[in-house]
Amino acid sequence: MVTTRRLAVLAAVAALVIPAAAAAQTVRIVQTNSAGDNVHVIDPITNTVVGEIQGIERAHGAAPSPDGKKLYVANESDDTVDIVDMQTLKVVKKVELIGRPNNIAITPDGRKVYTAIAESPGALQVLDTETEEMTAIISVHGGVHNTYVTPDGKYAIAGMIGGRNITVVDTETDFPVWTTYSDLGIRPMTFDTNEDGSTKHIYAQLSNFNGFGVLDFETRKWVNRIEYPEVPADERTPGHGGNTAHGIGVTPDNQYLVANSSLNSSVYVYSLPDLELVGGVRVGHSPNWVTITPDSRYAYISVSGNNNVAAIDIANVELVARIETGGQVPKRNATVILDE
């Protein structure tokens, strides 16, 4: 007969075990701190901080190279893209931008980094990773808050809050190819894919909406709007400046969508493609960003209001770890796969 004490020990051990699939490769979670001057590196096997990148004040977005050797960080203090050597955890180069940056994204082949320029008049700025020089400035109808590259690498996506539009850029030519508008400002986005790897939908969180919109990529039409479960007024967290919902991601296996609610202090999981709610879990004040492990099992959530990072078992919608990094107002994060 298993005693209550032994059950408690087993449960504690189980909470520390991150998947065997992740153990087969070296994976790291990098966590930026929007009110600090450092970036923390987390080991998802032990859920502990194993490194720190210093000297990047007000880091916004972070994007790793495909081989994990470099990390590109948007630096809001210096208006630069800071290039970090992931072996030494040192900034090796700072590349100047035309204005204040927000989010950042890299193509799957690692050739180009796209930086969102939020400062008016706004743009996407393109970094050639081989020469480590800026090669293009792309006008995209306003100041850009978040930029992404589609999973197939064919398009860079720019989302505008004030302009309320999504502009799609061809990554071969670096020219905009289409734009669509919303009645609400565009916040964080994520994508699912068709069987051939092409982009199927854009899932976009929207200003002052507790949920997300669904844009059909082929027709360029908004086809759905999903609202998170209603939460009693006394359990809500007000005062997010339009960031009612902030942070969203699709698992690499295309099975789940993970989405934050700042208003509800919660993370919700939806199954794909039906967008049925699997469940939700409260993680703390102001969950801000989502990054997912390569095996699709765990999501790491920056919890800005509590200055920590929450690890979520996606399929079971369960909080399995809370990592105290010591960082100030953690926001954007990213998953790095190191090439051994």
Calpha distance 322→183 (Å, rounded): 36
Residues 182-186, mean pLDDT to the nearest whole number: 97
Lowest mean pLDDT among 22-31, 32-41, 240-249: 22-31
**Nearest to 182, CA basis, from 149, 142, 239, 135:** 142
Q: How are beta strands 277-282 and 48-54 bridged, if at all?
A: unpaired
Tens of pLDDT, residue by residue over 204-219, are 999 999 999 999 999 9
pLDDT at 298 over 90: yes
pLDDT at 22 over 90: no
Whole-number Cα distances in Å, 187 to 55, 100, 218, 297, 321 = 28, 17, 21, 25, 27
Share of the chain above pLDDT 70, in %: 92
**Nearest to 93, CA basis, from 103, 85, 105:** 85
Class of domain 26-338: mainly beta
Quickly state the pLDDT bin for 177 (edges 50, 70, 90): very high
pLDDT at 251 over 60: yes
Task: Write down the number of H helices and E strands in the chain.
Answer: 2, 28
Say what the pLDDT of residue 234 is: 83
Calpha distance 329→280 (Å, rounded): 23
DSSP string, 98-166: SS-EEEEEE-TTSSEEEEEE-STT-EEEEEETTTTEEEEEE--SS--SEEEE-TTSSEEEEE-SSS-EE
Task: Pull the structure tokens for residue 126.
Answer: 């393109």
Task: Reduce the DSSP state of residue 310 to 3 states and report it.
Answer: strand
**Nearest to 35, CA basis, from 291, 214, 248, 286:** 286
**Nearest to 291, CA basis, from 22, 6, 35, 30:** 30
Tens of pLDDT, residue by residue over 147-158, are 999 999 999 999
- pTM of structure: 0.92
Average pLDDT in the chain? 92
Quickly state the pLDDT bin for 239 (edges 50, 70, 90): low
Say what the pLDDT of residue 9 is: 39
Tens of pLDDT, residue by residue over 262-296, are 999 999 999 999 999 999 999 999 999 999 999 99
